[in-house]
Structure 1
Amino acid sequence: MDQVACMSRKPWELAFTAKPAEVAALRRLMRLHLGIWGLHEVVEEAQLCVSELVSNVITHVGPDTPTTLVVSMRGTQLRIEVHDPNTRTVPTKISADADAEAGRGMLLIDALAQRWGVQLFPDHKVTWCELATNLTTPHGHSGSPQVERAERVLNAYRAHEPTKQAGGSRLTAAVTETVAVGIIADLLHWLRAHGHDADEALDRAQTHFEAEAEALTTLRC
Structure 2
Amino acid sequence: MRLQLQLNGDLSAARQARHLLHRCCEQLQLSEQVRQVVLLLGSELVTNAIVHGGAPARLSISIPHAGSATEDPGTGQEQGTGQEQGPGQDGTRLRLAVSDSSTALPVVRAADPAASGGRGMHLVHALSAAWGVRVHPGGKSIWCEITTAP
The AA in structure 2 aligned to 1:103 is G
Partner of residue 39, structure 1: 30
2:118 and 2:19 map into 1 onto residues whose CA distance is 24
Counterpart in 2 of 1:72? 62
2:124 partner amino acid: I
Identity of aligned residues (%): 36
Deviations 1:155-177 (A, max 9, x none): xxxxxxxxxxxxxxxxxxxxxxx
Q: What is the distance in 1 between the residues matched to 2:52 and 2:3? A: 25
Question: SS at the partner of 2:24?
Answer: helix
Structure 2: unaligned runs, 5 residues or longer: 65-89
Q: How does 1:47-66 map to 2 (within 5 A)?
A: 47-62=39-54, 65-66=55-56
Give the counterpart of 2:135 among 120, 126, 136: 120
| Structure 1 segment 1-221 matched on structure 2, within 5 A | 10-41=1-32, 42-62=34-54, 65-74=55-64, 75=90, 76-87=92-103, 89-134=104-149
- SS of alignment partner, residue 66 of structure 1: coil
Structure 1: gaps of 5 or more residues: 1-9, 136-221
d(CA) in 1 for partners of 2:17, 2:51? 17
User: As a proportion of its length, which structure holds more helix?
Assistant: 1
CA root-mean-square deviation? 1.5
Structure 2 CA distance for aligned equivalents of residues 38 and 13 of structure 1: 19
Q: Deviations over 1:11-45 (max 9, x none)?
A: 11111223111211211221111111222342111
Partners of 2:138 and 2:121 lie apart in 1 by: 23
Give the ranges of 4+ consecutive aligned residues of structure 1 lying more than 6 Å apart after TM superposition: none
Bigger-Rg structure (1/2): 1
| Aligned counterparts of 1:38 and 1:110: Cα–Cα separation in 2 | 24
Q: Residue 91 of structure 1: CA displacement?
A: 0.8
TM, length-normalised to structure 2: 0.76
SS at the partner of 2:115?
coil
Q: CA deviation at 1:58?
A: 2.0
Contact 1:18 1:57 in 2 (8 A): no
Indicate conservation of the 8 Å contact 1:83/1:126, yes or no.
Answer: yes
User: Are the aligned partners of 1:113 and 1:132 in contact in 2 as well (CA < 8 Å)?
Assistant: yes
Which protein has greater RCO, CA pairs closer than 8 Å, 6+ apart? 2
Contact 2:37–2:127 (8 Å) recurs in 1: yes
Under a length normalisation based on structure 1, what TM-score does the superposition of the two structures give? 0.53
Q: Quick one: distance in 2 between partners of 1:123 and 1:106?
A: 22
